[in-house]
Structure 1
Amino acid sequence: MPPIVIVGVHPVREALRAGGVREVRVGPRADARVNEIVRLAEVKGVPVRRVDVAELDRLADGERHQGVLATLGDAPRRWSLEEVVRQDPQPLIVILDGVEDPHNVGAILRTADAVGATGVVRQERHAAALGPAAARASAGALAHVRIVDVVNVVRAIETLKELGVWVVGLDAEGAQPYDRIDFRPPTALVVGAEGEGLRRLVREHCDFIAALPMRGHVSSLNVSVATGIVLYEALRQRSADR
């Protein structure tokens, strides 16, 4: 797996703070924010290379780089389901069932980090690459969130159940409103692909299927928005319980 490229001022800054950056590259016209990143890289002992804009454009793969990008020395550590569950007596895990838009994946990683989720599970195939687009949309969270790659989502759900984790699927046809679900026990939230939702077998293996109320003219929300709403409901419940 090639090193992950992180682009943009804020994502690169967060990656430097998290550690593991192999090199920072900056364009010829650095502004004050980029110069701040250069100083931070120097403090961290990370090499900084001045390059032309064409090289930044090529490595950023169409993403807006703001004159700076970083490459990670190694791909982020991949965790097992068992390792992630052991990180927290009250784990909160997000499972991505075929979410292929890297901007949505990045936004979900950002929210998962914001609420203190224990980890994010993604299928090795039919999943967005964790490249510049996902890294930028995550606003640096890619460097912090525990990520589990699995071959089969249904099998992962069964493993989580064996580890004592309740599994909640999010689907427009869900029988229960999302805020009626008790998210205080160890919980995994499963969210489906854009436009298609949860696959049938995945849905059938969930303990509960929750829905968001839709009272306007559109029938669904963007998957990253819907995931954020439910994760913050889980955070609200858990905070009130303390």
Structure 2
Amino acid sequence: MSERPYTSRKPKFQRQYGKGGRRDQQSWRPPHEIDVTILYGWHPVAEALRNGKRTIRRLLATENSMRRLDEELGVPLSVQPELVRPDEINRLLEPDAVHQGLYLEADPLPSPSVETLSGERVVLALDQITDPHNVGAIVRTAAAFGVEAIITTARHSPAATGVLAKSASGGLEHVPFMIVKNLADTLNALGERGFQRIGLDSEGGENIDALSLRLPLVLVLGSEGKGLRQRTRDCCDAIGRLDMPGAIKSLNVSNAAAISLFAVTKAVMPGAAK
């Protein structure tokens, strides 16, 4: 391994060229067993570096990206960055990953629990939504609407890392994941704490705008193909739908999440949805 200093106004960067070989992304392990979060791309990495709750293990950057971090980030780095060539980051990621010259390894963020949720903001629950691109888009939307937490199951859910984090475009730093073994049991526990549990389904009984909504509230979204499972539906206080005036009556789950979060937030937190 060779090292060569890189001169910068703020942190002292070093060039460290690593060995080849694609990194194991831990994609087969359930989310609750992932012990390292992989982030890449400008927004996910920059937001993680700004997040004081993140413990950073390793940061790789190309020369151009490192200079941009130095000029634009505006916060001290908690880890010594390694200056690398773009192809070295390519080898650590899946093919066609758009890393923009930045790669970061960090500890997972702390997770809330049923007992620690404040109920002062909307909570989102995902019922076996498996596409990391969709979940990432939902996370980004959730961050925009100030969602307190996202509940997912330990199985049949993507880990909060890699593609999901890239799709979330930095939103992962603002909305914590609460990973549970059984969604129905968790919804029942939230109900005991006074949470209103609202499911979203294209065949729901009422338009979501017509429901009487209040905090604390958890909005439950079903999977891309099957929607809400029956036991999940049985744990909800009401099932709402999004009425569409056009010829197509259903939406991608991430788009449905955005519209329903706007409607719900406007109803329970009027000042926040202006």
* Equivalent in the alignment of 2:103: 69
* Equivalent in the alignment of 1:14: 47
* Equivalent in the alignment of 1:80: 113
* Equivalent in the alignment of 1:24: 59
How big is the alpha-carbon RMSD for the aligned residues of Structure 1 and Structure 2? 1.9
Q: Partners of 1:55 and 1:82 in 2: how far apart? A: 43
CA deviation map 1:202-241 (0-9, x unaligned): 1122100000112333331111110111111122223437
More helix by share: 1
* Equivalent in the alignment of 2:178: 148
| 1:79/1:185 CA distance change after superposition, 3 Å | closer
Structure 2: gaps spanning 5 or more residues: 1-33
| 1:199/1:92 CA distance change after superposition, 3 Å | same
* Equivalent in the alignment of 1:58: 91
Q: Partners of 1:189 and 1:47 in 2: how far apart? A: 41
Please state how far the C-alpha of 1:83 moved relative to its aligned partner.
Answer: 1.1
**Residue 198 of structure 2: which of 168, 173, 176 is its match?**
168
The answer on whether the counterparts of 1:38 and 1:48 sit within 8 Å (CA) in structure 2 is: no
* Code of the aligned partner of 1:22: R
TM-score by length of 1: 0.90
Structure 1: gaps spanning 5 or more residues: none
In the TM superposition, structure 1's runs of 4+ consecutive aligned residues that sit over 6 Å from their partners are none
Please state how far the C-alpha of 1:42 moved relative to its aligned partner.
Answer: 7.4
TM-score by length of 2: 0.80
The answer on whether the counterparts of 1:194 and 1:223 sit within 8 Å (CA) in structure 2 is: yes
The answer on whether the counterparts of 2:127 and 2:223 sit within 8 Å (CA) in structure 1 is: yes
Q: Partners of 1:136 and 1:147 in 2: how far apart? A: 16
Q: Partners of 2:196 and 2:264 in 1: how far apart? A: 13
| 1:239/1:162 CA distance change after superposition, 3 Å | closer
Q: Identity of paired residues, percent?
A: 34
* Equivalent in the alignment of 1:204: 234
CA deviation map 1:89-118 (0-9, x unaligned): x34110000000111111111111111111
CA deviation map 1:121-165 (0-9, x unaligned): 000000012221110111111122121111111111100000100
Q: Partners of 1:36 and 1:142 in 2: how far apart? A: 21
Please state how far the C-alpha of 1:22 moved relative to its aligned partner.
Answer: 2.6
* Equivalent in the alignment of 2:129: 99
Q: Partners of 1:118 and 1:45 in 2: how far apart? A: 26
Q: Partners of 1:2 and 1:175 in 2: how far apart? A: 41
The answer on whether the counterparts of 2:122 and 2:265 sit within 8 Å (CA) in structure 1 is: no
Please state how far the C-alpha of 1:51 moved relative to its aligned partner.
Answer: 1.8
* Equivalent in the alignment of 2:31: none
Matched, 1:178 2:196: no
The answer on whether the counterparts of 2:121 and 2:146 sit within 8 Å (CA) in structure 1 is: no
Larger Rg: 2
**Residue 37 of structure 1: which of 69, 81, 89 is its match?**
69
